[in-house]
């Protein structure tokens, strides 16, 4: 039996029917064609499927679609608020924080959840915020630098 | 060109960066087609078994489900990178648990998966061979009986006379080292779609494919199609590291067979568990070294015996172990060397190409050995390497004279030692007093976090490792690459190359090279998708050959076009033949007359004069040669050198190793793409660290225990302190402006440097990777009963 799920997705109100066992990641990728949300493990270990739920980073492979009801979901497609890219994404590019790019959407979302809560994070806090996002390509250094720089610039403004 | 660069070596943003950072980049699983079907794999849960019968009768009431198996394969039923020993669908027997006997194809993937238990397979279990050391025993079961032996390959190397060398040595040291099976762990699991294009056009494949031309060959063989009827397009690739080659070629072939049978697009998408279960991995090695040396530190003779577990299929084993035989005695000039490297079949998961490709294993052994010899002689690790290390004109173990490039081994060593204050730290760590836990044996219960907290539990260590590495394919095969460059009327430029973007940033590097030659900004260059139907073939994207080979082809194409433009300018602007024309900042200059015109205007002019502004660039590597019998020859046409120094903190109570810092000094030749090069170092070192301290796939009777990231742990952002890349740009005759290789050297040294650092911290040596808790505390691996791999692990 399908259930009606209404929630806010990237700023717009949406309403869909979903089976009770359907995962949020599948709903996003298949129903809404938001394929920026990636699946790397399906068990909550890699963070490639990270989305924001009411501003908090969650693994969408561990969230049921029906749990989105009444909540606000932001995916990588909605993170720049209508712009092409936001300052964090820009710094990901400037600092070389992207290689294959498969982890990148999840990384960006975890990092922006951190920066929203904590505009002046220490290096350790940044490392902790992205510790649930595995990256096999970059060794994380340039990602951490990109987040640091974003925080620094936003404090300056 | 006088070496003032405007684009090369500068910080340039990745060409595909915006797509990736916005989530728009399409990876294989993001492709959908109308009418697309899904395929799921049917496996027998056995490591070695004869298939008697597969009973699909339970699916008779499922008309929407097609069964695809070996009988649907009209071309080659078996495929392989080097030997055709791997069935596309197994029909006679399975030789490892990842093997696939058939596929179910239908609309709903979850429905198909739910049908899998309905299929009844009748089979007879066969003896399971998991110990590579028993593989060549007379009475061992044969994995592929038709080959008559479990030996995949044997590479011998003979230089000088080792027995004489040992006689002339003051001391002899013998050690055995072991390295583990590890997983590539690209974050994107495998996915591919095959789309039938109709009878005359053939089939199109889009997938997470490392080497589209290899995939095309496999698919064409399996379908019995001409190459031109198979078009392979690479989707954005979510990491590969050597790992999305054979597996993806076979998945492409399976999808293609299903697509032809159903006449619908068919997608195969692996879960992480299936990816780990079926994909090939890094070879575990058993390495026996015997070395003779004199009291002055000079190594006289080295005898090496290496056994690689190839697992169930040959895959790239012959080439992986070939690199090992060339490099096993390290970057040291040794008069007498005798090396034998063998790869054998077992029922373990199969092993093939992985970043490093047969070098991390011998480097761990040879660099551990060098440190051990140094400590026996009472000299420091850098000294022993200075005494024996390669210099210009040195002769390698294969009898090759190192020339035509800066042999920068000692330079990278010096720079690394200088950067880290190596000697001082190494000595003071060595002389730390040995701490032993104080506890009362009559009441051995520890309290108050006695294990974890006391600062004296933490001991510091520093260690180094050096290597030389042959660039590109060497005597493995024909080595050539091509690039397509087309300048449009308005000065915008298309670029394409047959080598593949695997995430490493090759497209950016190529754009930089073309931009430099034509004096335009890199944004002018639009990089085209790699499509085997359009792009000229360039061999595989492996062996860190992309910058060197593909980069040279791009440079060649750009120079062809530049020369055509120069001729035009000289004619149009009546410049003398001896005038020098240069291209810079989107402008064109004459040495005599200064600014001549804008690049865009020049392109317009060229178009109006009917000049052909498209070109195929080509680069073929210089000759190499190899004698299979004695392992002598010029194995590679050039080499790169590297030195990494690891600084670690070891908790001597828990065995935990934390990597404080890795200083990575590499001579990759000229650095073209600065951000990309640094990214290679950070990523390679981090992977190397995972190999060094915690990654391991353990197999129980051929069955992998770590099928997902909950049990197979790769480094996270929390696991490594600082990584410092340093580039020493040595002179080189080959490659674009002398640019060579970097991707693999960054990874191959790290585990060895860490092992030496841990030894420096705790005063004991280690002979088996990874240096996990039990290795550090107990000098052995703890395994649940029955999960042993190999005889004495
Ligand atoms: S796919 Fe959700 S955490 Fe890996
Ligand atoms: S960039 Fe490839 S996994 Fe992070």
The yes or no reply on domain B285-473+628-778 and CATH 3.30.365.10 is yes
Answer yes or no: is pLDDT of B2 > 50.
Answer: no
Supply the mean pLDDT for chain B. 94
- pLDDT of B447: 62
| Residue B630, SS3 per DSSP | coil
The yes or no reply on domain B31-126+190-269 and CATH 3.90.1170.50 is yes
Is the minimum CB–CB distance between A148 and chain B shorter than 8 Å? no
Distance between A6 CA and the closest CA of chain B, angstroms = 24
* Mutation choice for A interface testing from B185, B187, B750 by most A CBs within 10 A: B187
Quick one: B6 exposed, middle or buried, by C-beta within 10 A (0-12, 13-18, 19+)?
middle
Contact yes or no for A100 and B237 at CB 8 A: yes
In the DSSP assignment, the letter for residue B269 is: E
Backbone angles phi, psi at B525, to 5 degrees: -100, 125
> How many other CB atoms are found less than 10 A from the CB of residue B455?
6
- pLDDT of A155: 87
Which tens digit of pLDDT belongs to each residue from B428-447? Answer: 999 987 655 556 667 766 66
B685: nearest CA partner in chain A: A139
Which tens digit of pLDDT belongs to each residue from B639-696? Answer: 999 999 999 999 988 899 999 999 999 999 999 999 999 999 999 999 999 999 999 9
Q: Which residues of chain A have pLDDT under 70?
A: none
- pLDDT of B793: 37
The residue extents of the domains of chain B are 31-126+190-269, 285-473+628-778, 480-620
Which tens digit of pLDDT belongs to each residue from B513-537? Answer: 999 999 999 999 999 989 998 888 8
Residue B699 alpha carbon to ligand 2 centre in Å: 27
Sheet of strand B191-198, all strands in order from the earlier edge strand to the far edge: B66-69, B102-106, B37-42, B266-269, B191-198, B202-207, B230-234
* C-alpha pair distances (Å), B158 with each of B151, B326, B334, B505: 20, 11, 12, 39
> How many other CB atoms are found less than 10 A from the CB of residue B78?
18
Domain covering B480-620: architecture: 2-Layer Sandwich (3.30)
- Place B451 in a pLDDT band, splitting at 50, 70 and 90: low
Answer yes or no: is pLDDT of B789 > 60.
Answer: no
**Residue corresponding to tokens 């024309």:** B581
Contacts of B752 (CB under 8 A, 6+ apart): B360, B363, B364, B367, B368, B465, B692
- pLDDT of B457: 83
What is the distance between the alpha carbons of residues B633 and B355, in angstroms, rounded to a whole number?
24
Contacts of B404 (CB under 8 A, 6+ apart): B638, B732, B733, B734
Nearest CB to B186; choose among A130, A133, A136 = A136
| Residue B777, SS3 per DSSP | helix
Q: Which two tokens stand for residue B335?
A: 């008069």
Answer yes or no: is pLDDT of B791 > 90.
Answer: no
Residue (of B245, B224, B222) closest to B234 by Cα position = B245
Please tell me the number of Cα atoms within 13 Å of B762 on its side-chain side.
27
Contact yes or no for B504 and A99 at CB 8 A: yes
**Beta carbons of B167 and B290 less than 8 angstroms apart:** no
The domains of chain A, with CATH numbers, are 3-78 (3.10.20.30), 87-156 (1.10.150.120)
| Chain B residues in contact with A135 (beta carbon < 8 A) | 187, 717
In the DSSP assignment, the letter for residue B768 is: B
What element of type H or E holds B550? Answer: none
Contact yes or no for A100 and B502 at CB 8 A: yes
Arithmetic mean of pLDDT, B358-372: 98
**Residue corresponding to tokens 């030894």:** B759
Extended beta strands in B73-147, E state: 78-79, 86-87, 93-94, 102-106, 120-125
Is the minimum CB–CB distance between B682 and chain A shorter than 8 Å? yes
* C-alpha pair distances (Å), B13 with each of B502, B511, B574: 16, 11, 39
pTM, two decimals, is 0.96
- Same CATH topology for B285-473+628-778 and B480-620: the answer is yes
Which tens digit of pLDDT belongs to each residue from A25-62? Answer: 999 999 999 999 999 999 999 999 999 999 999 999 99
> How many other CB atoms are found less than 10 A from the CB of residue B440?
8
- pLDDT of B786: 57
- Place B1 in a pLDDT band, splitting at 50, 70 and 90: very low
Is the minimum CB–CB distance between B465 and chain A shorter than 8 Å? no
Quick one: A74 exposed, middle or buried, by C-beta within 10 A (0-12, 13-18, 19+)?
buried
Which tens digit of pLDDT belongs to each residue from B382-392? Answer: 999 999 999 99
* C-alpha pair distances (Å), B23 with each of A32, A44, B343, B504: 14, 20, 42, 18
**Beta carbons of B731 and B339 less than 8 angstroms apart:** no
């Amino acid at each position: 039996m399908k259930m009606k799920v209404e929630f806010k997705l990237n700023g717009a109100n949406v309403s869909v029917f979903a089976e009770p066992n359907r995962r949020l990641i599948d709903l996003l990728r298949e129903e809404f064609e938001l394929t920026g949300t990636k699946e790397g493990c399906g068990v909550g270990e890699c963070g490639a499927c990270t989305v924001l739920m009411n501003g908090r980073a969650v693994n969408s492979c561990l969230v049921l679609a029906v749990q989105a009801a009444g909540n606000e979901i932001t995916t990588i497609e909605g993170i720049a608020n209508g712009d092409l890219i936001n300052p964090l994404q820009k710094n990901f590019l400037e600092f070389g924080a992207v290689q294959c790019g498969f982890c990148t959407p999840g990384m960006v979302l975890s990092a922006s959840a951190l920066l929203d809560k904590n505009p002046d994070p220490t290096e350790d806090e940044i490392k902790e915020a992205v510790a649930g996002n595995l990256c096999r390509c970059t060794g994380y250094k340039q990602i951490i630098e990109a987040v640091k720089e974003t925080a620094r610039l936003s404090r300056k403004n | 060109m006088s070496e003032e660069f405007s684009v090369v070596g500068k910080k340039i943003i990745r060409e595909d960066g915006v797509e990736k950072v916005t989530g728009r980049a399409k990876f294989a699983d993001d492709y959908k087609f109308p009418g697309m079907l899904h395929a799921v794999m049917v496996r027998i849960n056995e490591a070695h078994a004869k298939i008697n019968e597969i009973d699909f009768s339970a699916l008779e009431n499922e008309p929407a489900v097609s069964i695809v198996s070996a009988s649907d394969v009209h071309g080659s039923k078996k495929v392989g990178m080097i030997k055709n020993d791997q069935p596309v669908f197994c029909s006679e027997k399975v030789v490892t648990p990842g093997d696939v006997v058939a596929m179910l194809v239908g609309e709903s993937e979850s429905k198909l998966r739910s049908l899998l238990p309905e299929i009844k397979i009748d089979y007879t279990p066969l003896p399971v061979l998991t110990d590579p050391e028993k593989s060549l025993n007379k009475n061992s079961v044969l994995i592929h009986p038709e080959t008559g032996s479990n030996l995949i390959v044997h590479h011998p190397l003979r230089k000088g006379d080792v027995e004489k060398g040992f006689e002339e040595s003051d001391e002899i040291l013998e050690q055995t080292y072991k390295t583990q099976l590890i997983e590539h762990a690209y974050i994107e699991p495998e996915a591919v779609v095959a789309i039938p294009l109709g009878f005359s056009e053939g089939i199109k494949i889009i997938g997470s494919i490392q080497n589209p031309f290899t995939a095309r060959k496999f698919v064409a063989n399996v379908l019995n199609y001409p190459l031109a009827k198979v078009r392979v397009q690479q989707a954005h690739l979510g990491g590969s590291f050597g790992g999305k080659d054979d597996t993806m070629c076979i998945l492409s072939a399976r999808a293609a067979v299903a697509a032809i049978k159903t006449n619908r697009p068919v997608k195969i998408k692996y879960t992480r568990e299936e990816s780990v279960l079926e994909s090939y991995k890094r070879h575990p090695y058993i390495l026996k070294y015997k070395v003779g040396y004199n009291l002055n530190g000079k190594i006289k003779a080295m005898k090496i015996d290496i056994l690689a577990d190839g697992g169930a299929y040959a895959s790239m084993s012959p080439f992986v172990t070939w690199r090992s035989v060339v490099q096993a005695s390290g970057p040291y000039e040794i008069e007498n060397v005798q090396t034998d490297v063998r790869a054998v079949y077992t029922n373990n998961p199969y092993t093939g190409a992985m970043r490093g490709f047969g070098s991390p294993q011998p480097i761990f052994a040879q660099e551990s050995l060098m440190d051990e010899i140094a400590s026996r002689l009472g000299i420091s690790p850098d000294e022993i390497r200075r005494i024996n290390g390669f210099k210009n004109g040195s002769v390698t173990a294969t009898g090759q004279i190192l020339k035509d490039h800066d042999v920068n081994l000692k330079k990278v060593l010096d720079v690394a030692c200088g950067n880290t204050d190596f000697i001082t730290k190494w000595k003071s760590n060595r002389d730390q007093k040995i701490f032993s836990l104080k506890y009362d044996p009559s009441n051995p219960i520890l309290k108050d976090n006695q294990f974890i907290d006391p600062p004296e539990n933490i001991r510091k260590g520093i260690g180094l490792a050096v290597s030389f590495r042959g660039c590109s394919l060497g005597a493995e095969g024909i080595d050539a690459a091509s690039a397509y460059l087309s300048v449009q009327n308005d000065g915008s430029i298309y670029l394409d190359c047959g080598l593949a973007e695997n995430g490493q940033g090759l497209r950016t590097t190529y754009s930089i090279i073309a931009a430099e030659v034509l004096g335009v900004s890199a944004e002018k260059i639009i990089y085209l998708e790699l499509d085997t139907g359009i792009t000229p073939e360039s061999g595989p994207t492996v062996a860190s050959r992309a910058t060197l080979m593909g980069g040279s082809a791009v440079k060649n194409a750009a120079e062809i076009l530049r020369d055509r433009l120069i001729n035009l300018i000289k004619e149009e602007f009546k410049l003398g033949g001896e005038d020098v024309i240069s291209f810079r900042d989107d402008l064109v200059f004459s040495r005599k007359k200064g600014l001549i015109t804008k690049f865009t205007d020049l392109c317009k002019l060229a178009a109006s004069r009917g000049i052909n502004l498209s070109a195929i660039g080509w680069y073929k590597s210089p000759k190499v040669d190899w004698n299979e019998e004695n392992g002598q020859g010029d194995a590679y046409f050039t080499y790169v050198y590297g030195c990494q120094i690891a600084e670690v903190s070891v908790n001597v109570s828990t065995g935990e190793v934390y990597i404080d810092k890795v200083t990575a000094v590499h001579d990759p030749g000229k650095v073209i793409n600065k951000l990309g090069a640094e990214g290679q170092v950070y990523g390679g070192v981090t992977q190397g660290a995972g190999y060094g301290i915690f990654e391991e796939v353990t197999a129980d009777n051929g069955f992998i225990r770590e099928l997902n990231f909950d049990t197979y742990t790769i480094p996270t952002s929390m696991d490594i302190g600082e990584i410092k890349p340093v580039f020493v740009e040595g002179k080189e005759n080959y490659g674009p402006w002398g640019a060579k290789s970097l991707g693999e050297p960054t990874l191959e040294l790290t585990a060895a440097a860490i092992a030496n650092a841990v030894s420096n911290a705790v005063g004991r040596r280690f002979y088996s990777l990874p240096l996990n808790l039990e290795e550090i505390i107990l000098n052995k691996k703890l395994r649940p009963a029955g999960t042993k791999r190999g005889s004495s692990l």
